[in-house]
Structure formats: structure tokens, C-alpha cells
Amino acid sequence: MGCSPTETEYMRHSILLEKNFRHALVAIDLLSKARDQFKMMEAGRTITLLGSEMGREYFAAKDYTSAIQMLSSVAATYRQEGWVALLGSSLTYLRECARCLGLTKDFIEYGLELIALPIPVTIFHGYVSGSEVSPFGQQERTQIHEELMNFLCGVGEIPSQDGESGMTLTSAQPIGLEVDLVSPLRAVLSVCAAFHEQTVKPGKVTSLTLCLLTHLHLPVTFQEVEVLFNQSSCNFTIQHRKMVVEEELAEGSAPGEGISGPFDLMVQPRTWKRITLAVTAGMSMSI
């Protein structure tokens, strides 16, 4: 039994109205009112949950700036509480917001923190009033890792989510990621250095050991590591063995000449890489 022309037109009109209705904005308004009520009750965890829902609705409404502001606050709470699955869900949205806004540094930081999280199962997000971010599991972790490593090496481009020009990285515009004591990237990379002797006479050679540790799930190869001292004249840079050999071959010298290594800068997941070097002490040296 078919519909009459009048009924068909009514259904098409209803579908059109439903498509044009701004569900996300209505949801944000309701969630905001609920959040205000729970603030009066000082229900911290419920407030965080509602903030997460609001951030995702902002994402659905394509208000990426508001989404980042809301989800950044939520992510800070999840880091403090150690809720890695909930933090991972927030980071997937933050990463996509950074992509849509062209925030290259934020995109890299969110991605690195996400793939370093110890999440054993796939994260499935709940329903929101619009476009949804894909689930995050082991396959996505590997894809994001490879995408970020290629991008940081300058051999890949990060496509835009909304058809805008993609993000690129060149040697002329490097990205500086600072890993300090309060940075979320502490969960991605840890570095420490120590002299073998407590005291050494100026001008004498002493041993220095560098230790690198990543919590990523795939090996990472550093192109070079720069060691900085309080005396700039003592600074030095070590390069990955393969890179040094390739440079020497390009210059026409024999492989191995001038290499005070070799240095293998490939770091395996969750395994300390220790590199011991011989350095000459100045009048006072501290790393």
C-alpha cells in the first residue's frame, strides 16, 4: 500500500526539517544546564562526564575551538585520575579538532600521547548528535604511529578533515616538543643522563651515559640526539649509525672514518636504551 502524494510530500518535508535541525546545539544547552546543577552539588566525576559529552557535541557542531577548551579540561582530570580509557577517548577527539584547526604541534602531541597509552582493548565512543570519531584500537594505534613518524621525518603529509589544505613539516619549520616534568608527553618519552664519576679534573675525559625510554608500542629511531651543557662549547650531537654512514658515503670517505660510536639510536618499546660516551670535562659541566 503506497503513500498518497500529500503523505509523501509531508514525509519529505519532515525529513528535511530533521536534517536541518541543530541537534548538537540543543544537546549542548541541556548538558550545560545539567552541569551547572551538578556543580552546585560538587559532584566532580559527573561534572567531568558531562563536560566530555559537551566537548563531543561541540565537535559534532564543528565548533572545534570550544571542543578543545572543554575536552582539554576533561583530559587533565582523566590524567590525574589515571583513567586511561576515558583519556584515550578524549584524545581522539582532541586530535581531530587539532587537525581541523590546522594546529600542527597540538595534533602531534595529542597523537603521541594517545598511542603511548596502555589501552588493551578498542575504545568505542558513545553516540553524539552528528559526525563521530572512529573507534581506537591496536590497528589505529599502528596507523597513527606510522603516520606521525613519517610526518616528523618530513616524508608525509597530514590530510585535513574538512577538505582544507593538509599539514606539512619541513626542516625550515621544525616542531619543538618540550617534555618537562609536568608535560603529558612524559608518558611518551623519558630521557636521563649521568656522569660515571662524581668529580673529574678539568680537561680530563670522563664517561657519560644517556638513557632513552619510550612507552610507544612500536620501535622509534631517532635521527640524532643533542646533549646540552651549561657551557655551550661542550655541547655535542650524536647521530644514528645508518645516517652517519650514508653521509660519509655521499662525501666519498670510507665507512667508519670519524665515527666515535657506532650509535644505534633505535629505541625498543618500554626498554631503556643506554648509550655511553666519552666527554672532556670543562671548568664546570652540568647537563
* pLDDT single digits (tens) 108-123: 999 999 999 998 888 8
63 and 139 both lie in a single domain: yes
Mean pLDDT over all residues of the chain?
80
Longest dimension (CA), the chain: 98
Does the structure show a pLDDT above 80 at 129? no
41 and 127 both lie in a single domain: yes
Decide which of 99, 124, 152 is a domain's last residue. 152
Q: Could you tell me if residue 105 is inside a domain?
A: yes
Q: Could you tell me if residue 64 is inside a domain?
A: yes
Task: List Cα–Cα distances, 116 to 49, 148, 184, 190, 239, in angstroms.
Answer: 23, 12, 10, 12, 24
Which residues have CB under 8 Å from 56's CB, separation 6+? 67, 71, 93, 125, 128
| Residues 131 and 172 sit within 8 Å (Cβ to Cβ) | no
Lowest mean pLDDT among 55-69, 203-217, 224-238, 244-258: 244-258
pTM over 0.85: no
Q: Could you tell me if residue 285 is inside a domain?
A: no
132 and 21 both lie in a single domain: yes
pLDDT given for residue 250 in this prediction: 44
Work out how many domains the chain is built from and give that number. Answer: 2
Nearest partner of 87 among 191, 95, 282, judged by Cα: 95
204 and 146 both lie in a single domain: no
Does the structure show a pLDDT above 90 at 247? no
129 and 210 both lie in a single domain: no
∠ CA 130-98-60 to the nearest 5 degrees? 10
Q: What is the CATH number of the domain that holds 64?
A: 1.25.40.10
21 and 123 both lie in a single domain: yes
Chain position carrying cell 575551538: 65
Q: Could you tell me if residue 40 is inside a domain?
A: yes
pLDDT given for residue 254 in this prediction: 36
Q: Could you tell me if residue 92 is inside a domain?
A: yes
For the chain, the 3-state helix, strand and coil shares in percent, each to the nearest 5, are 45, 15, 40
| Residues 203 and 246 sit within 8 Å (Cβ to Cβ) | no
Q: Could you tell me if residue 157 is inside a domain?
A: no
pLDDT given for residue 216 in this prediction: 92
pLDDT given for residue 281 in this prediction: 72
For range 22-29, the mean pLDDT: 80
pLDDT given for residue 108 in this prediction: 93
193 and 115 both lie in a single domain: no
Portion of the chain with pLDDT greater than 70, in percent = 76
For range 22-50, the mean pLDDT: 87
Predicted confidence (pLDDT) per residue in 221-245, tens digit = 888 888 888 778 778 888 887 544 3
Decide which of 152, 178, 207 is a domain's last residue. 152
**Cα dihedral across residues 197, 198, 200, 204: positive or negative:** positive
pLDDT given for residue 145 in this prediction: 93
Decide which of 99, 125, 152 is a domain's last residue. 152
137 and 10 both lie in a single domain: yes
Which range marks the domain in which residue 196 is found?
A: 188-280
252 and 120 both lie in a single domain: no
192 and 139 both lie in a single domain: no
Q: Could you tell me if residue 69 is inside a domain?
A: yes
Q: Could you tell me if residue 68 is inside a domain?
A: yes
16 and 114 both lie in a single domain: yes
13 and 145 both lie in a single domain: yes
| Residues 125 and 94 sit within 8 Å (Cβ to Cβ) | no
